[in-house]
């Protein structure tokens, strides 16, 4: 076999297939020599060819490149990178360690990979991850069309690809459980529930060994390959199988009208701190990729995971943009949720960047390839840079996870004092946080629960976290849960406690879907999925975290309640408003007015635990009156008077049994008079209907 190679070129970065060979390109500013390793098989113990890149011939600026004409798609490859091993200067080159191409589109070697071998001294060539050369432009998309659902019409469902179908009760073939193919099989479930977008926990290739001994990293917030789908989520284990199966899933979801949003982790990598493994970035150019302490030896840990990517370095920023381009252009995803996004507002030295200066966040949202995609920020990092409100204030397209919505809704429903004014702000789209007048109010992503924390069932079943199974003596996970166990810690057969928990779940969900903003539901909350009080199940790849499909039948009434609640949200134009509702008692525009138990007299006092409000859309003749009673006794609320031929109808009452708690819009129940008794800890929604219209129905 010929071993002739050519100079290659500096663009594109990564491994690119051409008709006559493959171009390889890798950036390293401080490397002195680079070797390209070619393997005959994914798990080959050693390379069959080693190609040394000449710094004079195979380098342009700091891009190292080579063209290999005698290989093509399917070639397995990795690198050794030589350079100074001088931690005091920020350099951690180690040619004993084989490193992965940051731009690898497919990754193999998981059967032989050993994280420990990437940490301890010695050569790890027989226990390393490798990239695979793939041609991403050959897939048949069959005229795939993104749904492009506006935020105002979106219902987001946060889910874990593996955990969604891995449970044995999923009734799927074993090989499809926990995979993209398995998710395809469950699309009818998502359609019937009424969600319009799935927000997938990380599917980028991550290191499952990045966890406490004896456990695995389940959530996937430990990325090592930003361009490659995680192999275990594919039923097709061929090198290119995960790419094609992921695209099959996207195509199928789009046909069902469901968008795909990826949770992306650009704040840190799986390489951890100075004690961590050399897998890719650390061994390619540590000083370029990571924010280092002043002594250059240690990593600044704004992520809580050992290191922080230097997102505002030009090379790292380019990698982030290239990655996003790839997933939109080649994989057809519809948006991204940026984990700990505030870390991307830190300078290469770690200081917060002034909002008027250039940063990668503005580069992302102003990029033409990404225009129209959903860009959702988790607007904080693990080191105190809390930026909720700033992404929407200073960026034109980003939306945000509304953390205060989660906390304030939980506290109000629990019955805390001093929460009425706060819950009013959350219902109104959080104008105290999002003050920019020209923005879509639905860029506030409202949620009560997410993957990080208690499930909805556990929120009403536990006063404190129970994370002992994580191996950290219950020290991990937040202590501030705003939860209430309703009188007993954990599972119980007490029917009174179970009814109260069920009612609290209904209250939390009702407020979520009544509030201005885009609602997000956590996988399994619709069927009371429990993690037994574990509020940090990142390392629990087992039944504790998985969706139990038998619960769909066991919790059929709750599932129906959620489906009807979503349908109620979708069918009223009031919930499609893109502007902040005007607070007024009379207006021709959609508006809201506050009340208490007495009309026009909301009780904003510290001890108040109740609130009422009317919301009207005169253009569509929609008129709702909402009663929220977080008090432990019933309260009698006055109702607004109506015109001739109009009557109040009950649409929602969370004090009623699940099967009656939400009425279909064409099956609402008329009530007499102008008062309504809201039972203890209940939420009520009334809707106006004309008598003539009711008679016609």
CA atoms of 329 and 136, how far apart (whole Å): 10
Residue found by looking up tokens 């404190």 in the block = 464
DSSP 8-state secondary structure symbol assigned to residue 654: T
Tokens encoding 237: 């284990």
Instruction: Quickly count helices (H) and strands (E) in the chain.
Output: 16, 30
Phi then psi for residue 648, to 5 deg, are -75, 140
Which tokens is 320 given?
């982030």
**Contact, 35 vs 79, CB < 8 A?**
yes
From 635, 683, 680, 626, select the one nearest 505 (Cα to Cα).
Answer: 683
Residue 506 and residue 512: Cα distance in Å, rounded? 10
> In this structure, what token pair is assigned to residue 490?
């954990």
State how far the Cα of 300 lies from the Cα of 306, in Å rounded to an integer. 8
**Inter-residue contact 503 to 682 (CB < 8 Å):** yes
Q: What is the DSSP letter of 443?
A: G
SS3 content of the chain, % helix, strand, coil (to 5): 30, 20, 50
Q: What is the distance of C-alpha 343 from the center of its chain? A: 16
Task: Tell me how far CA of residue 550 lies from CA of 171, 173, 524, 540, 629, in angstroms.
Answer: 10, 16, 11, 20, 33
Q: Are 78 and 100 a contacting pair, CB within 8 Å?
A: yes
Q: What CA–CA distance (Å, rounded) separates 298 from 312? A: 19
Catalytic residues: 339, 378
322 SS3 class: helix
Q: Which two tokens stand for residue 577?
A: 């408003």
Residues, the chain? 697
């Amino acid at each position: 076999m010929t071993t002739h190679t050519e100079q290659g070129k500096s663009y594109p970065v990564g491994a690119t297939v051409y008709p006559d060979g493959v171009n390889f390109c890798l950036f390293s500013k401080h490397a002195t020599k680079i070797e390209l390793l070619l393997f005959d098989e994914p798990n080959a113990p050693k390379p069959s060819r080693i190609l040394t890149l000449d710094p004079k011939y195979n380098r342009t600026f700091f891009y190292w490149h080579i063209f290999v004409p005698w290989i093509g798609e399917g070639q397995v490859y990795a690198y050794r990178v030589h350079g100074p091993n001088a931690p005091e200067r920020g350099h951690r080159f180690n040619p004993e360690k084989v490193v992965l191409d940051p731009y690898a589109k497919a990754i193999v070697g998981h059967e032989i990979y050993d994280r420990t071998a990437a940490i301890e001294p010695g050569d790890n060539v027989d226990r390393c991850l490798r990239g695979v050369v793939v041609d991403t432009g050959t897939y048949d998309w069959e005229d795939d069309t993104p749904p492009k659902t506006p935020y105002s019409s979106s219902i987001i469902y946060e889910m874990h690809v593996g955990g969604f179908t891995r449970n044995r009760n999923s009734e799927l073939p074993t090989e499809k459980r926990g995979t993209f193919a398995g998710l395809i099989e469950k699309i009818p479930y998502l359609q019937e529930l009424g969600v319009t977008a799935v927000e997938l926990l990380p599917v980028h290739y991550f290191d499952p060994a990045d966890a406490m001994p004896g456990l695995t990293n389940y959530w996937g917030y430990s990325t090592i390959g930003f361009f490659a789908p995680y192999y275990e989520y594919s039923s097709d284990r061929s090198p290119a199988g995960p790419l094609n199966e992921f695209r099959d899933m996207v195509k199928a979801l789009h046909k069902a009208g469901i968008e795909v949003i990826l949770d992306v982790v650009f704040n840190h990598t799986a390489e951890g701190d100075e004690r961590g493994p050399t897998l890719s970035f650390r061994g390619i150019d540590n000083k370029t990729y990571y924010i280092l302490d002043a002594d250059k030896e240690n990593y600044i840990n704004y992520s809580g995971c050992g290191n922080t990517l230097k997102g505002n370095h030009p090379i790292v920023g380019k990698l982030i943009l290239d990655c996003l381009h790839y997933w939109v252009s080649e994989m057809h995803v519809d948006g991204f949720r940026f984990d700990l996004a505030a870390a991307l507002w830190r300078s290469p030295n770690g200081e917060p960047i002034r909002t008027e200066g250039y940063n990668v966040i503005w580069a992302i949202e102003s990029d033409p390839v990404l225009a129209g995609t959903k860009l959702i920020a988790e607007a904080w990092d693990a080191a105190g840079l809390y930026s909720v409100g700033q992404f929407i204030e200073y960026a034109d397209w980003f939306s945000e996870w509304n953390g205060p919505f989660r906390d304030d809704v939980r506290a109000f429903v629990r019955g805390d004092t001093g929460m009425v004014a706060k819950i009013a702000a959350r219902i109104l789209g959080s104008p105290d946080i999002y003050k920019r007048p020209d923005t879509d109010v639905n860029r506030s992503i409202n949620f009560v629960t997410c993957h990080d924390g208690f499930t909805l069932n556990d929120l009403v079943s536990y006063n404190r976290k129970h994370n002992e199974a994580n191996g950290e003596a219950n020290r991990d996970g937040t202590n501030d849960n705003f939860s209430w166990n309703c009188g007993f810690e954990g599972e119980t057969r007490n029917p009174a406690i179970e009814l109260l928990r069920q009612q609290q779940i209904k209250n939390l969900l009702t407020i979520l879907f009544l509030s201005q903003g885009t609602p997000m539901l956590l996988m399994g909350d619709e069927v009371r999925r429990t993690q037994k009080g574990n509020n940090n199940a990142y390392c629990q790849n087992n039944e504790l975290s998985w969706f139990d499909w038998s619960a769909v039948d066991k919790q059929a009434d709750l599932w129906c309640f959620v489906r009807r609640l979503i349908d109620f949200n979708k069918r009223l134009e009031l919930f499609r408003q893109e502007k902040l509702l005007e607070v007024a008692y009379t207006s021709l525009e959609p508006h809201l007015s506050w009340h208490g138990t007495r009309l026009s007299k909301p009780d904003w006092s510290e001890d108040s635990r109740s609130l009422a409000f009317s919301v009207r859309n005169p253009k569509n003749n929609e008129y709702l009156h909402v009663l929220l009673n977080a008090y432990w006794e019933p309260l009698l609320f006055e109702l607004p008077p109506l015109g001739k031929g109009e009557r109040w109808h009950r649409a929602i009452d969370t004090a009623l049994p699940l099967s009656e708690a939400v009425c279909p819009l064409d099956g609402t129940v008329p009530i007499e008079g102008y008062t309504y008794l809201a039972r203890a800890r209940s939420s009520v929604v009334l809707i106006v209907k004309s008598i003539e219209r009711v008679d016609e129905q």
